[in-house]
Amino acid sequence: MNEIIKLLQSHRSVRKFTDQGIEQSVLEELVKCGQSAATSSFIQACTVIQVDDPSAREQLVTLAGNQPYIATAARFIVFCADMKRHQLACDMHQADMLSGYTEQFITATIDCALFAQNVLTAGESLGIEGVYIGGIRNQIQAVTDLLGLPDLVYPVFGMCLGYPAQNPEVKPRLPLSVVLKKDSYSDEQDEAIIREYDELVREYYRTRTGGNKDTAWSEQISDMLMKEARPHMLEYLKSRGYLIR
């Protein structure tokens, strides 16, 4: 197994950081790595907002559901799906942009995800670790206002980056036989395999929390999916110029 595979398979979320800063030049190199990710039809539809202002960071702590590491991480960045520059490209050539298509939303959002994973992996190769912050979508309009985002731009998620002050274990993933299908989709054995996986996850949580958390993966997922999942997102995205057709 080579070092890149080892790095990718050792990913974990880190939420406690040392006081060591991340130089601007290093952050810019990480963002360049993000730019090197695959991009659908060369659209390059991701913009990164670097949030340095302490007051803005504290506001984001609250807006994201009281996640204090947003304020304490060496760097906090927000990945935005951005089709505004594409409007500019059309204007530069006196072309009418047909915006609002669901496909445009999908490709721009995927671009952000690919971009961000490159950023985090590049950071991990330098000893920098972090955690994704999807909680910025809890009050996404307030985040949009705080960051001054124009139409056709929306914040997909944030990311804390810093040098780790904790050493969490790697969280066990689903067995490969559940994830990797051959030729067609078959889930005949999935329930039995997931039941076995549930016990592995349960033991992981027991160990990590000293017995304070005793939850299986399927239990966690079923609890989550019985609740509304940010129902404000559809109208918000339509107001941004996405998902109109």
Contacts of 165 (CB under 8 A, 6+ apart): 16, 17, 18
pTM reported for the whole predicted model:
0.96
pLDDT at 211: 80
Instruction: Give me the chain's average pLDDT, please.
Output: 97
Which residues of the chain register pLDDT less than 70? Answer: none
pLDDT at 210: 83
Closest CA to 58 of 146, 124, 119, 151: 146
pLDDT at 111: 98
pLDDT, tens only, 30-73: 999 999 999 999 999 999 999 999 999 999 999 999 999 999 99
Query: CA-to-CA distance for 45 and 34, rounded, in angstroms?
Result: 12
What is the identity of the amino acid at 110? I
The burial class, CB within 10 Å (0-12 / 13-18 / 19+), for 187 is: exposed
Query: CA-to-CA distance for 134 and 137, rounded, in angstroms?
Result: 6
pLDDT, tens only, 213-229: 899 999 999 999 999 99
Give 160's strand partners: 76, 131
